[in-house]
Chains A and B, each alone.
Chain A
């Protein structure tokens, strides 16, 4: 509901997972009522189906608009969002655009906002992987075009300052994702997975990214590591449709099904997975979300990627990065099983109250942007 005279804020979120991350901020801005607020999701209509399996038990807010990338190549989808975002913003008076995520779609939206001279705030800003992986390059570009940044942890704030962004506009208000995790912790404890009894010990392997799924060599390494681990511990590997198809395609599925103590359930939504991670002995993953969850819950995490942009999880010792080295991966998990692991306390700013602090700062930013726009007219 836009209140007359209030600055107008448009939040654009990149995907379903970005929507979950941004929801606490959306609710805080709405509850405070200082700005007119609209919410836009980039993705396909099926992604925006908020009743779908991924959002089960979460009830996220309903978007006011949808920017659809359509099909085709990565570049074609990026291009379509450019045009769609431009059309959308031309018909919606906006003082401040708040972007969540570091996807190609969010890059397109950042470009359009700046072409139109709009002020931009980037949530989850300053994420940098050592070695400048492509995804962190997208985050860098979006940050470069933004006017205000919410850094989820101090390392991210430092990276932004090093790139010459003015420190007074880098918000070090804490990790928005933690707000969601704290809010749903109890609900997640109640989830159940078929084949798992309450109190049973298990490890989790959850892999969904294309560097592993699209590469038979990497996928075989992961399957072999899973088989080795399943000799020592019950291993739960939730499989999305893509993962299941690839395992079949490269004849890895049968061996995996025949391995020691292994469960291969269908992957479930955010809340169910959060619950699964919460009771695990360890988590093996290539997903940033699961790294965050494991770190929040103090569950040891082994990241199977070349690097991670979640530097705080490394610093806290809850996460190690092993590349695609199956031996190192098994070694890290064995160390956990043998009781050799670090435990750590939550950072003080992970109090689940980041949204209120960020909302307050963004209201100021929106007010400044509105004054500036009125001044130039």
Chain B
């Protein structure tokens, strides 16, 4: 079996990492990595113990606008899929890459598989919701992290090809946890005290009005009772740089972190505030209280509390301990199931092909 795996961002690469690793154990994989920015150090991703292969194709596909990025990705992915003739094109999440991969596969009459199918979160990011819907509709394999996802697909008339496998990204968190560096030393190195800081992770999913939104974040984070460690998505960092936005006192920017380091910093925080769904899932995983700016991405997991941007400071200071039920995310064996279903459900391109 041959799979073309498409990851359109670092978060997507991490989320798909354990599926990718298992594919390579007994099948052929062509890994395509096409992030919108190129600022992350390679070792943070490929050397993080997640077992990701170095990508066969790596492109930085800028995102001046979502439509232009999607268009650019489609044209590039088409060439890969035509050349590789895979059994399945595997996409994850709700980025432009997931939609582009599914559209290309459908137009060339190849099967596609969508991880995180059935998730509907227009309130988290309306644009990603569009990409998710398209990928779900066109995919031959719809892998849901939760039973709620499968119910959503059923309601939309997409009952075929649905598999509730658990959350493959959760598998990646367990793997990263097992590799995590020693906590006290890591925190010390970053100048953080256990339980003595808030962690703010800013993603800014919608591209419009980035500067205003970032300014609102920083205003809200000023004058909290604890120092704030701030992690910025590259897009947010670019906005800060371009518009020369300065940091308020008590807020310091962290360098980009690999997933296992990230888990340590999340675990050591008093509480987390973020607009990024991946970070909300990590907060549930490490058991740290989390405020979701806007709406929680995983309401069924019960981890994050939503807060309007203006209320985030109050919500952060008031937030009690975590009270999550992480069962909806599965048992850490989602990746195994995905690969099992993919290899059982497809015919190899060449019948004489032997598994190595």
Interface residues of A (CB under 8 A from B): 73-76, 78-80, 82-83, 85-86, 104, 107, 111-112, 114-115, 117, 134, 137, 140-141, 144-145, 159, 162-164
- The reply to whether the CB of B312 lies closer than 8 angstroms to some CB of chain A is no
Tell me, rounded to whole Å, the shortest Cβ–Cβ distance linking A313 to chain B: 23
Contact in complex: B137, A75 (CB < 8 Å) = no
Interface residues of B (CB under 8 A from A): 65-68, 70-72, 74-75, 78, 99, 103-104, 106-109, 126-127, 130, 133-134, 137-138, 155-158
14 additional contacts, CB 8 Å, given A73-B78, A82-B71?
A: A74-B107, A75-B104, A82-B67, A82-B68, A83-B71, A114-B130, A115-B67, A115-B127, A141-B137, A141-B138, A144-B137, A144-B156, A162-B157, A164-B155
| Distance, CA A86 to CA B103, complexed state (A) | 18
Contact in complex: A144, B107 (CB < 8 Å) = no
- Residues A86 and B67 in contact in the complex (CB < 8 Å), given A75-B78, A76-B75, A141-B138: yes
9 closest residue pairs by CB, A with B: A163-B157, A79-B71, A86-B67, A75-B78, A82-B71, A114-B130, A164-B155, A79-B74, A82-B67
Selected from A75, A112, A114, A115, the residue in CB contact (under 8 A) with B103 is A75
Tell me, rounded to whole Å, the shortest Cβ–Cβ distance linking A356 to chain B: 31
| Distance, CA A117 to CA B126, complexed state (A) | 8
Of the candidates A104, A115, A140, A145, the one having the most CB atoms from chain B within 10 angstroms of its own CB is: A115
- Residues A83 and B68 in contact in the complex (CB < 8 Å), given A73-B78, A163-B157: yes
Contact in complex: A137, B74 (CB < 8 Å) = no
| Distance, CA A140 to CA B107, complexed state (A) | 14
Selected from A137, A145, A164, the residue in CB contact (under 8 A) with B106 is A137
- Residues A140 and B104 in contact in the complex (CB < 8 Å), given A79-B74, A80-B71, A83-B68: no
Q: Chain A residues near B133 (CB, 8 Å)?
A: 141, 144-145
- Residues A141 and B74 in contact in the complex (CB < 8 Å), given A83-B68, A111-B67, A164-B157: no
- Residues A82 and B138 in contact in the complex (CB < 8 Å), given A74-B107, A115-B127, A145-B130: no
- Residues A75 and B108 in contact in the complex (CB < 8 Å), given A144-B133, A163-B157, A164-B157: yes
| Distance, CA A248 to CA B66, complexed state (A) | 45
Tell me, rounded to whole Å, the shortest Cβ–Cβ distance linking A281 to chain B: 37
Tell me, rounded to whole Å, the shortest Cβ–Cβ distance linking A153 to chain B: 18
Contact in complex: B67, A112 (CB < 8 Å) = yes
| Distance, CA A82 to CA B100, complexed state (A) | 11
Of the candidates A78, A79, A83, A104, the one having the most CB atoms from chain B within 10 angstroms of its own CB is: A79
Contact in complex: B130, A111 (CB < 8 Å) = yes
Q: Chain A residues near B68 (CB, 8 Å)?
A: 82-83, 86
Q: Chain B residues near A144 (CB, 8 Å)?
A: 133-134, 137, 156
Q: Chain B residues near A115 (CB, 8 Å)?
A: 66-67, 126-127, 130
User: Which chain B residue has the least Cβ–Cβ distance from A112?
Assistant: B67
Tell me, rounded to whole Å, the shortest Cβ–Cβ distance linking B159 to chain A: 10
User: Which chain B residue has the least Cβ–Cβ distance from A83?
Assistant: B71
8 contacts between A and B (CB under 8 A): A86-B67, A114-B130, A117-B126, A137-B137, A141-B133, A141-B138, A145-B134, A163-B157
Tell me, rounded to whole Å, the shortest Cβ–Cβ distance linking B295 to chain A: 16
| Distance, CA A98 to CA B31, complexed state (A) | 39
Contact in complex: B70, A111 (CB < 8 Å) = yes
Contact in complex: A86, B107 (CB < 8 Å) = no
Q: Chain B residues near A78 (CB, 8 Å)?
A: 74, 103, 107
| Distance, CA A115 to CA B72, complexed state (A) | 16
Q: Chain B residues near A82 (CB, 8 Å)?
A: 67-68, 70-71, 74
Contact in complex: B67, A75 (CB < 8 Å) = no
User: Which chain B residue has the least Cβ–Cβ distance from A141?
Assistant: B137
Q: Chain B residues near A117 (CB, 8 Å)?
A: 126
Of the candidates B72, B133, B137, B156, the one having the most CB atoms from chain A within 10 angstroms of its own CB is: B137
Q: Chain B residues near A140 (CB, 8 Å)?
A: 137
| Distance, CA A369 to CA B68, complexed state (A) | 25
Contact in complex: A111, B134 (CB < 8 Å) = yes
Selected from B99, B106, B158, the residue in CB contact (under 8 A) with A134 is B106
User: Which chain B residue has the least Cβ–Cβ distance from A72?
Assistant: B75
Contact in complex: A86, B65 (CB < 8 Å) = yes
Of the candidates B75, B103, B127, the one having the most CB atoms from chain A within 10 angstroms of its own CB is: B103
Q: Chain B residues near A145 (CB, 8 Å)?
A: 130, 133-134
| Distance, CA A62 to CA B74, complexed state (A) | 32
| Distance, CA A111 to CA B158, complexed state (A) | 19
| Distance, CA A112 to CA B72, complexed state (A) | 14
| Distance, CA A137 to CA B103, complexed state (A) | 11
Tell me, rounded to whole Å, the shortest Cβ–Cβ distance linking B59 to chain A: 14
Q: Chain B residues near A111 (CB, 8 Å)?
A: 67, 70, 99, 130, 134
| Distance, CA A144 to CA B157, complexed state (A) | 10
| Distance, CA A225 to CA B235, complexed state (A) | 62
Tell me, rounded to whole Å, the shortest Cβ–Cβ distance linking A134 to chain B: 7
- Residues A134 and B104 in contact in the complex (CB < 8 Å), given A115-B66, A141-B138, A164-B155: no
| Distance, CA A167 to CA B89, complexed state (A) | 35
Tell me, rounded to whole Å, the shortest Cβ–Cβ distance linking A68 to chain B: 14
